[in-house]
Chain A
Amino acid sequence: MNLDMITIRRIVTHVEDIHHEFGPPAATPLRRGAIAAVLTNPFAGRYVDEIVPMMDALQPVGIEMAQRLRAAMDVPVERIESYGKGAIVGAAGELEHGALWHVPGGYAMRELLGWKGDRSAYAQGKASAAPTGQPGNALAIVPSTKKVGGPGAALDVPLTHINAAYVRSHFDAMEVRVPGAPAADEIVFILVMSTGARVHARVGGLKAADIAQWNGLR
């Protein structure tokens, strides 16, 4: 693990309580949180073919960010119902640098929320066959988006249910941006989590209460 690749310049947390959106106020407000870490991009300004070592080096960053986000949201892990992740790469970098976040960002949150799978098998694309019964938590893929952008660029980070990607009430997104970042030689890595459905969700589809297949989808 090459920790020399990791230089964290800045960390921003954002937590919001949504009481209503002009409909009946929620008995318990929806709480959504985002954490953005601004890192130096060790590959800025040139084409580097071998970038995968940074994926491993990012693992402790993902774990620290997931824990800090949960702490900032001030709710027990059992209350986290949806998640997402993203990256904004500064102008001297490449979209592919943002893709380094998929495994370390996603699995840091999944493990925090009680996922019992094999991270290295997933990283190599060797996921095990669909199980039955609830074999743990955070079974669903962590949705993501990424872009190359300038300082203050906004990223709409998608959110979906942690156990079943098709739960319609939990399809959501959070706009995340860090004023002043990313500079050309920086990358902003982002995690988002939420305690529930959209505040006035009412367009049908699969409900969280009806998840039955425990395959990450339905």
Chain B
Amino acid sequence: MVAKIRKLIVEVDETRIEAGKAIDPPTRKALAMAVIENPCAGRYVENLDELIAIGEDLGGLLGDKCVQALGIAPGAAHSYGKAAIVGEAGELEHAAAILHPKLGAPLRKAVEKGAALVPSAKKRGGLGTAIDVPLGHKDAAFVRSHFDAMEARVSDAPRANEIVVAVVVTDSGRPLPRIGGLQVSEIKGEDGLR
């Protein structure tokens, strides 16, 4: 593990009733977050390979934690998303280095397949800053019932020299989807879109 982790957090959000209607089985979203030291904080660093390697580590670790917390087989995952909050001594590009080059492959391994783009968000923030992690179906980005988000936040992070890295995996879409669009049953799963 290249990342220096101060805290590791796993949350599960289970909805049993929405708008007075029973959701059976409940919809469930799992969020795993690592609070890590930012090795590039406080100065301009041209080469971000160290952060890219951290992203690769965390894609597997956080993806596995989510799947484990849901108690499902990897292939039973439905949607995913990722996000990072960079502390104030860091740069937005640091979040990009963690999230985009190498985090995806091990995350896809954790959920099996994952033909679709992993939706993402990033920002700079202080202690307790919240980020809404966007979610999309892992095999077909156009599945409308699975467009969603989960709020991620750590009350005492990120410190100035830290980064909060978040991964969300679900075993379901929104509780009461009814706005049409591509359905899960219609997924081809070839191009990651439909």
Q: Give the distance to chain A from B125, nearest Cβ to Cβ, in Å.
A: 16
B:1-38 near A, CB below 8 Å: 5-18
| A178 contact set on B, CB distance < 8 A | 13
CB distance from A73 to the nearest CB of B (A): 10
Contact B8 A19 (CB under 8 A): yes
Q: Is B53's beta carbon under 8 Å from chain A?
A: no
Question: What A residues does B151 contact at CB under 8 A?
Answer: 152, 179
Using a CB–CB cutoff of 8 Å, the interface residues on chain A facing chain B are 7-22, 29, 40, 72, 152, 154, 175, 177-179
User: Size of chain B's interface in residues, with CB distance under 8 A?
Assistant: 21
Given known contacts A12-B12, A179-B151, A19 and B17 CB-to-CB distance under 8 angstroms:
no
Q: Known contacts being A21-B6, A175-B155, is A9 close to B11, with CB within 8 Å?
A: no
Considering the complex, give the chain B residue whose CB is closest to the CB of A10. B15
- Give A30's nearest chain B residue, CB to CB: B7
Q: Which residues of B contact A13 (CB under 8 A)?
A: 11-12, 69
Shortest distance from the beta carbon of B71 to any chain A beta carbon, whole Å: 10
Residues of B near A8 (CB, < 8 A) are 16-17
Question: 8 extra interchain contacts, Cβ-Cβ under 8 A, other than A10-B15, A15-B9, A22-B6?
Answer: A9-B16, A9-B17, A10-B13, A11-B16, A16-B10, A19-B7, A19-B8, A40-B17
**Nearest 3 pairs between A and B by C-beta?**
A175-B155, A179-B151, A16-B9
* 1/0 contact string of B137-180 vs chain A (CB within 8 Å): 00000000000001101010000000000000000000000000
Please determine whether B6 and A20 come into contact, CB atoms closer than 8 angstroms. Answer: yes
Chain A residues in 8 Å Cβ range of B17 = 7-10, 40
Contacts of B14 in A (CB 8 A): 10-12
Q: Which residue of B lies closest to A174 (CB)?
A: B155
Which of A7, A10, A154 is packed against the most chain B CB atoms within 10 Å?
Answer: A10
Give the complex CA separation of A160 and B176 in angstroms: 40
Q: Given that A14-B9, A19-B6, A19-B8 are contacting pairs, would A72 and B15 also be in contact in the complex, using a CB cutoff of 8 Å?
A: no
B15 touches A9 (CB 8 A): yes
Complex Cα distance A11/B130, Å? 20
Q: Which residues of B contact A21 (CB under 8 A)?
A: 6
Q: Are A154 and B10 in contact (CB under 8 A)?
A: no
For residue B42, give the distance in angstroms from its CB to the closest CB of chain A. 15
Chain A residues closer than 8 Å to B11, beta-carbon distance: 12-15
Determine how close the nearest CB of chain B comes to the CB of A25; give it in whole angstroms. 9
Which residues of A are found within 8 Å of B10, using beta-carbon distances? 14-16, 72
A15-B10 Cα distance, complex, nearest whole Å: 5
